[in-house]
Structure 1
Amino acid sequence: MNFRGATFSGGMVSFARTKISGGTVSFDGATFSLGAVYFSGATFSGGRVSFSGATFCGSEVYFGSVTVAGGAVSFDGAIGPAPTGLRAGVTPGLARVILPPSWMTPNP
């Protein structure tokens, strides 16, 4: 799936309970502004999900109860505050998650 360069602005978009087990899903360069985007309960168990260069500003982006148990998830070069709940679901050693240095402090 390709959401490269997409703008999520206003309203609500849900990727909740999405299961990604292979292939590539790209949100590279996407902008998340205003509204809410939910990835709550999603499972990333293989493949690659990329938010490289995405901008998070003025929108609520929720990763609560996400399971990242395999594959790779990249936020390399992302701008703005870390999405809520992002690191809580990462299973150490099973997944490769790349975060910008500014996101390395704890978040809810």
Structure 2
Amino acid sequence: MPGYCYILTNKNKTVLYVGATTDLQRRISEHKNGKYKNAFSKRYNCTWLVYFEKFDIVKDAFAREKQLKAGNRKRKIDLINSINPKWNDLALEWRDSEE
């Protein structure tokens, strides 16, 4: 089963949240809709998908999540900037393609 590791931020780009999932679109929708009321991402309004990686095996996605969480903020910022220098919400592309 495939998996994804992802990074979210808030609209001011002051907080970073790292997560992993088997269904990226569903999970990002849950973040955006505040499904988990007491979650870190909800408390800090992390709803912008600014980075993600896809893995063939979900176990690898969770290992990458652990690796990124152990890293410092600068490494995460550099990673985001390498593929998304404007820090656009990548999930907006999904919504636009559904309309």
TM-score, normalized by the shorter chain, greater than 0.5: no
Q: Which has the higher strand share?
A: 1
Give the TM-score, by structure 1 length: 0.23
Q: Which has the higher helix share?
A: 2
Bigger relative CO (Cα 8 Å, ≥ 6 apart): 2
